[in-house]
Amino acid sequence: MTAGACTPRHDHRGRREAAVVSDGSALRECGAAVELIVREFAEHLSGLAEVPVRPVTVEAVDAAQLGAGIRALPADVGPVLVTHADLERTRLVQQDLHGSTGLLVLTDQDATAIALTAAVLSAVADGGRRAPAGGRVVVAGAHYVPILPALLAAAGVADITTWNASDAVTFPLRHVMYGADALVDLVGALPGWVAEGRHSTTAVITRGDARTAPCVAAGLLRAAVCDPDATFDVVTYLAAARALTTAPPPLTQRKARILTNRVADAVKSLAHTAR
Report if residue 220 sits inside a domain: no
Given this model, what pLDDT does residue 227 score?
A: 87
Report if residue 221 sits inside a domain: no
Tell me: do 144 and 187 sit in the same domain.
yes
State the DSSP string of 58-106: ---SSHHHHHHHHHTS-TTEEEEEE-SS-HHHHHHHHHHHHHHH---EE
Last residue of a domain, one of 77, 103, 129: 103
Report if residue 217 sits inside a domain: no
Last residue of a domain, one of 83, 103, 123: 103
Pick from 241, 271, 265: nearest CA to 150: 241
Rounded Cα gap, residues 148 and 117, in angstroms = 7
Q: Phi, psi at residue 53, to the nearest 5°? A: -130, 115
State the DSSP string of 177-228: TTT-SEEEESS--S-HHHHTTTT--SEEEEGGGGTTHHHHHHHHHHHHHH-T
Tell me: do 193 and 252 sit in the same domain.
yes
Report if residue 3 sits inside a domain: no
- 152 touches 205 (CB < 8 A): no
pLDDT in tens, 16-43: 899 999 999 998 766 568 999 999 999 9
Q: 74: Cβ–Cβ under 8 A, 6 or more apart, which residues?
A: none
Asked if the peptide bond before residue 250 counts as cis, ω within 30 degrees of 0, the response is yes
Pick from 185, 101, 87: nearest CA to 144: 87
Give, in order, the Cα–Cα distances in Å from 172 to each of 75, 161, 169, 185, 222: 51, 13, 6, 13, 42
Report if residue 223 sits inside a domain: no
Rounded Cα gap, residues 262 and 215, in angstroms = 9
Report if residue 224 sits inside a domain: no
Given this model, what pLDDT does residue 131 score?
A: 60
Tell me: do 183 and 252 sit in the same domain.
yes
Tell me: do 90 and 146 sit in the same domain.
no
Residue 231: pLDDT band by 50, 70, 90 thresholds?
confident
Tell me: do 128 and 92 sit in the same domain.
no
Tell me: do 258 and 184 sit in the same domain.
yes
Tell me: do 46 and 149 sit in the same domain.
no
Q: 30: Cβ–Cβ under 8 A, 6 or more apart, which residues?
A: none
Mean pLDDT for the chain overall? 87
Q: What is the CATH number of the domain that holds 194?
A: 3.40.50.720
Residue 103: pLDDT band by 50, 70, 90 thresholds?
confident
Residue span of the structural domain in which 98 resides: 11-103
Q: Phi, psi at residue 238, to the nearest 5°? A: -65, -40
As for how many domains the chain has, the answer is 2
Q: Tell me which of 246 and 186 has the higher pLDDT.
A: 186
Tell me: do 121 and 240 sit in the same domain.
yes
> Under DSSP, is residue 18 helix (H, G, I), strand (E, B) or coil?
strand
Last residue of a domain, one of 103, 133, 149: 103
Neighbours of 167 (CB within 10 A): 14
Tell me: do 39 and 149 sit in the same domain.
no
Rounded Cα gap, residues 233 and 9, in angstroms = 21
Tell me: do 250 and 114 sit in the same domain.
yes
- 181 touches 135 (CB < 8 A): yes
pLDDT in tens, 53-85: 999 999 999 999 999 999 999 988 989 999 999
